[in-house]
Structure 1
């Protein structure tokens, strides 16, 4: 095959990839129009600093993403590992500073005690906040028998569930973009098709080195 023939074949696939990207953007726009379901029950978790509510897990930010990881007695790998799939998800999580810059917090939850969570996080180099469930949070949000990722938003002290992804859908998560695309507010960039009044800034303008957020935008040169 010549270089030109290879380039022609690539361009044919590229057109299909662009259609897929546009379809993915349209799907994310529909997620941003999902109804918000009020969370009426109070939930409590154990964390490194003691007991925490679901509202506390937001860490003061507007949005919260919660991944239910299976690390607990009875799960394959215990007590040295979380399950293989959940561990692969943890290995793919990007630097959380970028999510935080979009007013979004990501946490993991399991039923393992905090000392076990801290030990495995330290050994495997995981840095995401990881809490211990103490009630029926997993059953109430569809993650008692299988992993899954729930998105929440808060309005003051009121918490709402906005979306849920599980099974193979979790395989595509891990990057800043994939997590933001499942939230109610999205990437919060001007090109997005979002409801009137949603926060949006120019694309790229908010990007920064992960240790420079809060210090202003860098100057090119």
Structure 2
């Protein structure tokens, strides 16, 4: 193993600052790409897809759980997939292990669900065994995965609804799914984005000041949120730097 040179703390800091220029450039490029996603055309989903959930049959609209946006990850857990019936696909399981608590997405009017062809009893056992109880997981019953391009390989589709009309807004698959799991990575593929004022979004999109909407995942339902202490901390942090240039 050919290691890098050993340097002084001052030389290390100089090297870090030099690389930081490229890292900031990459951050701004990601922001610009997410802005383009928010301007992607929408395609209406007219097919009445059906799923099976822990509470019985459900339509695609039901998967939104009353929220405006929906993110659906096609996970492979079914007969014929390596690991069945004790495990889901190794890669899909890796994705599930990385999923942040969905309460933060829910606070941005966005629902995340997984879908597979395994029956609900098997899904319930898998979630309990692997500690994935926080992930809503539905059973596919028709051609939803084939029609949305995720029948042969994993992928993450994003949707938005206007009352009872549902529109597909984006798809991430292959290596794009490697970055999925965190709240920000999911919001960055949605039509509305992070919904913060620093973002470059079309006119009229919902936006709030950065960070002020955040809370502990078990406190979003509290009437008095966010706390005054958190708002003060956010104000100090936002004042210290320009979010759009960070």
Do they superpose with TM above 0.5? yes
- How far apart in 2 are the matches of 1:47 and 1:40? 21
192-201 or 209-218: which moved more? Answer: 209-218
1:63-97 residue CA offsets vs partner (Å, 9 max, x unmatched): 00000000000000000000000000000000100
- How far apart in 2 are the matches of 1:114 and 1:23? 41
Matched residue SS, 2:84: coil
- How many residue pairs get aligned? The number is 221
- 1:189 pairs, out of 167, 185, 196, with 196
- TM (norm. structure 2) is 0.89
Runs of 4 or more above 4 Å deviation:
none
Residue 49 of structure 1: how far off its partner (Å): 0.3
- How far apart in 1 are the matches of 2:186 and 2:171? 11
- How far apart in 2 are the matches of 1:31 and 1:197? 16
Per the alignment, residue 78 of structure 1 pairs with 84
Per the alignment, residue 214 of structure 1 pairs with 221
Per the alignment, residue 166 of structure 2 pairs with 159
Residue 12 of structure 1: how far off its partner (Å): 0.9
Q: CA RMSD in A?
A: 0.8
Q: Which runs of 5+ in 2 are unaligned?
A: 1-6, 231-246
Residue 2 of structure 1: how far off its partner (Å): 1.2
Residue 205 in 1 paired to residue 206 in 2? no
- How far apart in 1 are the matches of 2:33 and 2:68? 22
Residue 22 in 1 paired to residue 28 in 2? yes
User: Which structure 2 residues correspond to residues 89-168 of structure 1 after superposition, within 5 A?
Assistant: 89-126=95-132, 127-168=134-175
Residue 214 of structure 1: how far off its partner (Å): 2.5
Q: Radius of gyration: which is bigger?
A: 2
Residue 217 of structure 1: how far off its partner (Å): 1.1
- How far apart in 2 are the matches of 1:120 and 1:209? 27
- How far apart in 1 are the matches of 2:13 and 2:33? 30
Q: Which runs of 5+ in 1 are unaligned?
A: none
Residue 33 in 1 paired to residue 39 in 2? yes
- How far apart in 1 are the matches of 2:226 and 2:99? 24
Per the alignment, residue 178 of structure 1 pairs with 185
Per the alignment, residue 9 of structure 2 pairs with 3
